[in-house]
Copies of this chain bind each other. A is one copy, B any other.
Amino acid sequence: MNAEIIAIGSELLTPFRQDTNSLYLTEKLNDLGVEVVFKTIVGDSRTNLTQAATLAVSRADIVIFMGGLGPTEDDLTRESVADALGLELRRDPEIVAALERRFAERGWKMAANNNKQGDVIAGATVLPNANGTAPGQWISGKFEGKEKIVILLPGPPHELKALFDEQCMSRLQAKLPPQFIASRVLRIALMGESQCDARVAPIYKRYADVDTTILAAAGEIQLHLKTRAGSLAQAQERVDALVQEIEDELDDFVVSDNGDSLEQIVSYYLQMRNVTLAVAESCTGGLLAERLTSVSGSSRYFLGGAVVYSNELKTAFADVPAELIQQHGAVSREVAAALAEGIRKRCGASLGAGVTGVAGPTGGSPEKPVGLVFHALASGSGTEVIERKFPGDRKRIRWFASTQALDMIRRKLM
């Protein structure tokens, strides 16, 4: 079975707004064994919408319409789909009565244009919308000699998701062969996409039954693995076996094998090891602390830190000797180490992290170019320093640098 998703709304044809609902629906449909073969985005035009609906019903088994179910003149999905299917619209007095109650409960009088939200395509099942006024509709039957399923959903994401999950998934499942799907997400830090793929491709190519998707972002790769089999246990076994082989290959580059973020994993390790942390950051300007504290409960292990942009503050907050800065420069292996050691002592933390570098676009030199960053991690047993040269703009360099600092903490506690 395949599906076409149609997003409706003139705002989706401007430079400002984009359909994202279809990503959610695609994931759910894929889990049912349904492939999405077309997505269409159409404005609030009855002609264009009817044309798109007619075409979709002729070429896809399942057609899902999103949006255009509201009370205004621009909301034309009901009329257009009815036209495309050659069916009548009938006003359902129960829906109208429910709408009137909804308005009355809020102390409002319902405007007449809301009545059109009670229009139902002949033979459709009404899907009540707990989060809004516009109900969805479910139509299943033969059109042009073929079994088709047509679904009308409201456009606002929280209405669409709740309605689809609660009322469409089980109906679709009943129409489709059972699916036994297992999936896992591996997250890998600080490895290039091509380097990662070169190492894992020979492995996942041997698992032709597992879909492998590689998503790369700055400093992180996600491997999405998914398979279907005759039973859930079989599917899980196949995915788990592939995960194991990839983990053996990539070893400590693997941050998590259940989708957890680097920040979350660092949080687990710090709690598990009963370790506290303080940071002194220059070029990342607070980003490292921000990422550490983005995890709820981080006050249990993160004591705090200093954003030491000026040289004076490197001394005042992290006890970096002024002579050291003068001798080696603020961006240096020595100052990174002193930042980590200084902030650790000042905060009474088990671990201290220090970051100093050139985020750019200005401030670079031939010896210390934009992108050069020193990362230090100090503990009771000594201090390690990593030097990196990151590519990209200011934002990207700061992101890479904070990721590197987080990864040093992770590796230290592994």
Q: Cβ of A395 < 8 Å from any Cβ of B?
A: yes
A50 → B minimal CB distance (Å)? 12
In the complex, chain A residues 369-410 whose Cβ is within 8 Å of any chain B Cβ: 394-395, 398
Give the residues in chain B near A41, CB-CB below 8 Å. Answer: 38-41
19 residue pairs bridging A and B, Cβ less than 8 Å apart: A14-B30, A15-B23, A18-B23, A37-B45, A38-B48, A38-B52, A51-B59, A284-B290, A285-B289, A285-B290, A286-B289, A287-B290, A294-B395, A296-B360, A296-B394, A303-B309, A310-B347, A312-B348, A313-B347
Give the residues in chain B near A15, CB-CB below 8 Å. Answer: 23-24, 26-27, 30
Chain B residue with minimal CB distance to A25? B15
A150 → B minimal CB distance (Å)? 19
Q: Cβ of A302 < 8 Å from any Cβ of B?
A: yes
Whether A213 pairs with B294 at a CB distance below 8 angstroms is: no
Q: Cβ of A181 < 8 Å from any Cβ of B?
A: no
Q: Cβ of A362 < 8 Å from any Cβ of B?
A: yes
In the complex, chain A residues 349-375 whose Cβ is within 8 Å of any chain B Cβ: 360-363
Known: A285-B302, A294-B395. 6 other contacts (CB 8 A): A285-B292, A285-B294, A286-B288, A289-B307, A294-B394, A298-B309
Q: Cβ of A36 < 8 Å from any Cβ of B?
A: yes
Whether A37 pairs with B43 at a CB distance below 8 angstroms is: yes
Question: A45 CA to B13 CA in the complex, in Å?
Answer: 25
Whether B215 pairs with A362 at a CB distance below 8 angstroms is: no
Question: A348 CA to B15 CA in the complex, in Å?
Answer: 46
Q: Cβ of A176 < 8 Å from any Cβ of B?
A: no
Q: Cβ of A308 < 8 Å from any Cβ of B?
A: yes
Q: Cβ of A305 < 8 Å from any Cβ of B?
A: yes
Q: Cβ of A16 < 8 Å from any Cβ of B?
A: yes
Whether A16 pairs with B224 at a CB distance below 8 angstroms is: yes
A274 → B minimal CB distance (Å)? 16
Whether B296 pairs with A362 at a CB distance below 8 angstroms is: yes
Question: A262 CA to B317 CA in the complex, in Å?
Answer: 28
Whether B306 pairs with A304 at a CB distance below 8 angstroms is: yes
A260 → B minimal CB distance (Å)? 17
Give the residues in chain B near A347, CB-CB below 8 Å. Answer: 310, 312-313, 316
Chain B residue with minimal CB distance to A31? B15
Cβ-neighbour of A307 out of B37, B42, B293 (below 8 A)? B293
Cβ-neighbour of A36 out of B13, B224, B292, B394 (below 8 A)? B13
Q: Cβ of A55 < 8 Å from any Cβ of B?
A: yes
Question: A224 CA to B17 CA in the complex, in Å?
Answer: 13
Give the residues in chain B near A292, CB-CB below 8 Å. Answer: 285-286
Whether A26 pairs with B13 at a CB distance below 8 angstroms is: yes
Given the known interface contacts A37-B45, A48-B38, A51-B59, the answer about A304 and B288 at a Cβ–Cβ threshold of 8 Å is no
Give the residues in chain B near A42, CB-CB below 8 Å. Answer: 37-38
Chain B residue with minimal CB distance to A290? B286
Q: Cβ of A90 < 8 Å from any Cβ of B?
A: no
Cβ-neighbour of A313 out of B38, B304, B363 (below 8 A)? B304
Q: Cβ of A346 < 8 Å from any Cβ of B?
A: yes
Give the residues in chain B near A303, CB-CB below 8 Å. Answer: 309-310, 312-313
Q: Cβ of A299 < 8 Å from any Cβ of B?
A: yes
Whether B316 pairs with A309 at a CB distance below 8 angstroms is: no
Q: Which 3 A-B pairs have the closest CB atoms?
A: A285-B293, A286-B289, A286-B286
In the complex, chain A residues 45-70 whose Cβ is within 8 Å of any chain B Cβ: 45, 48, 51-52, 55, 59
